[in-house]
C-alpha cells in the first residue's frame, strides 16, 4: 500500500502514535520481484552487516512468531510465498529454506542467479528463514512482546537513521526515548503494545512516518551516513523518506510482528503538486527546535522552507499552519482518511 501523504503530513506537527485501522483487505506485506531495489540493498546489508541487522535478546525464542509470520505471508501472497510448517519457499526468488537448509529450486532471475541462496547460506542457520522473508518482501520485521513491553527480536536491514543494535531488547518506551517531543509516544507505549497484539479480528493497525533527508539510499544506518549532514546535498536535491508500519497481531503468543516498509524518492517528485508542497511547508514550519534537531533539519530549515514556498505558492517567510488549512479542507472529501501520523 502506498504512503498516505494526506493523512500523514499534518500541521501543526506533533509526535504521536498516529495509529489507524487498516482498510478491509489491505495487505501487510509487499512481495518483491527478483532484483528490485529493496532486495538489492537488503542483499548488500545481509552480506556485509548482518551483525547489525539480525538481532535478538539472549534467551528469546523467536521461532513461534517467525513461523506465524511465514504462515501469514503464505495466506496473504500465495503467488509469492509458500509455507507448509517446515519448508518456506520464496517462489519468485526460486529459493527455499527447509529447517536451516537453503535450497535453490530453479535458476535465479537476476545477477548470477544464486545471489539469494548464497547470501542466506552465509547467515547463521536460525536466521535463514528470517533472511528469506526479508528478501522476498519489502518490509523489515521486529517482534513486539506485550508480556513485558519489549522489542526482543529484529530483522531490520533498512533502518531510518537509527541503529537496531542499540534498540533490540529494550522496552518499547525506551526505544522511543531519544525521540524529540516524545511525551505522547511514551505515555501511550504500554497501551499501544497491548492494542497491536490483541484480537486480530477486532482491528489491524498501521501508521505512516516521514522525513526529509540528504541520504538517497534505503539503508540509513547512522554508521554509514555522511557527517556532517547536508554537506553535499542542496535542498532542491533532497530526498523524501517514508515508512508504512503495520502490526500483525499474534494474540496466542502475546506478541505482534511489527513491519516497516521504507521508501525513498526525490523530494521534488513527492511535492510536485503545489498542495503537497504547501502541506509539507506548514508541517516543517510548525516543528519545534527539538524535532528539527532530531530530524537533522535545523541547519536547512530556512532554505527548505523557502524552496517549498516557491513550489506551494505559500506567501510570507513565516507562513505555516494556517497556509495549509484551506488545502486540508479542500481534500476532506477526496477519499483520504483522517488520522495524523508523524514520524517516531
Q: Where are the alpha helices (DSSP H) in the chain?
A: 5-8, 37-48, 50-53, 63-76, 115-121, 128-136, 172-175, 183-196, 267-270, 274-285, 289-294, 301-312, 325-330
How many Å apart are CA 340 and CA 344, to the nearest integer? 12
Strand, coil or helix: 173 = helix
| Pairing label, strands 140-145, 255-266 | antiparallel
Report pTM: 0.88
Domain ranges within the chain, ordered by starting residue? 29-138
pLDDT at position 171 is 83
Confidence check: pLDDT of 17 > 90: no
Contacts of 311 (CB under 8 A, 6+ apart): 268, 271, 274, 277
pLDDT at 329 over 60: no
Model pLDDT, residue 323: 44
How far apart (Å, rounded) are the C-alpha atoms in residues 5 and 212?
13
155 forms beta bridges with 54, 141
**Beta pairing partners, 32:** none
Q: State yes or no: pLDDT of 202 exceeds 80.
A: no
The reported pLDDT for the residue numbered 19 is 85
pLDDT of residue 220: 97
Residue 316: which pLDDT band, with cuts at 50, 70 and 90? low
Confidence (pLDDT) at 30: 98
Poorest-confidence range of 92-96, 108-112, 138-142? 108-112
**Nearest CA to 128 among 170, 99, 167?**
99
Residue 16, C-beta contacts closer than 8 angstroms, at least 6 positions apart: 184, 185, 188, 340, 341, 342
Mean pLDDT of 102-109: 92
What pLDDT is attached to residue 181?
54
HSE toward the beta carbon, residue 62, CA cutoff 13 A: 25
Give the closest residue to 220 by CA, choosing from 182, 177, 264, 179: 264
**Which is higher by pLDDT, 193 or 271?**
271
Q: What pLDDT was estimated at residue 182?
A: 54
Candidates 24, 65, 7; CA nearest to 204 is 24
**pLDDT score for 178:** 54
Amino acid at each position: 500500500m502506498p504512503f498516505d501523504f494526506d493523512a500523514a503530513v499534518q500541521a501543526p506537527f506533533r509526535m504521536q502514535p498516529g495509529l489507524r485501522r487498516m482498510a478491509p483487505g489491505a495487505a501487510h506485506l509487499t512481495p518483491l520481484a527478483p532484483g528490485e531495489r529493496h532486495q538489492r540493498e537488503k542483499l548488500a546489508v545481509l552480506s556485509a552487516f548482518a551483525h547489525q541487522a539480525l538481532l535478538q535478546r539472549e534467551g528469546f525464542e523467536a521461532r513461534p512468531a517467525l513461523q506465524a509470520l511465514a504462515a501469514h505471508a503464505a495466506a496473504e501472497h500465495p503467488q509469492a510465498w509458500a509455507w507448509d510448517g517446515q519448508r518456506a519457499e520464496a517462489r519468485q526468488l526460486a529459493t527455499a529454506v527447509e529447517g536451516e537448509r537453503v535450497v535453490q529450486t530453479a535458476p535465479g532471475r537476476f545477477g548470477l542467479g544464486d545471489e539469494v541462496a548464497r547470501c542466506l547460506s552465509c547467515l547463521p542457520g536460525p536466521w535463514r528463514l528470517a533472511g528469506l522473508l526479508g528478501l522476498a518482501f519489502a518490509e523489515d520485521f521486529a517482534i513486539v512482546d506485550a508480556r513485558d513491553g519489549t522489542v526482543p527480536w529484529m530483522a531490520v536491514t533498512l533502518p531510518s537513521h537509527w541503529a537496531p543494535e542499540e534498540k533490540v531488547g529494550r522496552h518499547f518506551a525506551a526505544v522511543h526515548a531519544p525521540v524529540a517531543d516524545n511525551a505522547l509516544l511514551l505515555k501511550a507505549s504500554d497501551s499501544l503494545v497491548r492494542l497491536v497484539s490483541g484480537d486480530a479480528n477486532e482491528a489491524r493497525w498501521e501508521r505512516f512516518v516521514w522525513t526529509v533527508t540528504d541520504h538517497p539510499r534505503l539503508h540509513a544506518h547512522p554508521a554509514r551516513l555522511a557527517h556532517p549532514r547536508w554537506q553535499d546535498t542542496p535542498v532542491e536535491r533532497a530526498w523524501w523518506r517514508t515508512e508504512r508500519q503495520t502490526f500483525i497481531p499474534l494474540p496466542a503468543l502475546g506478541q505482534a510482528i511489527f513491519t516497516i516498509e521504507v521508501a525513498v524518492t526525490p523530494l521534488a517528485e513527492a511535492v510536485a503538486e503545489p498542495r503537497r508542497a504547501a502541506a509539507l511547508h506548514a508541517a516543517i514550519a510548525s516543528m519545534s527546535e527539538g524535532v528539527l534537531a532530531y530530524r537533522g533539519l535545523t541547519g536547512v530549515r530556512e532554505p527548505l522552507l523557502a524552496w517549498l514556498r516557491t513550489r506551494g505558492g505559500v506567501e510570507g517567510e513565516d507562513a505555516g499552519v494556517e497556509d495549509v488549512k484551506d488545502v486540508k479542507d479542500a481534500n476532506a472529501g477526496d477519499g483520504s482518511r483522517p488520522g495524523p501520523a508523524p514520524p517516531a
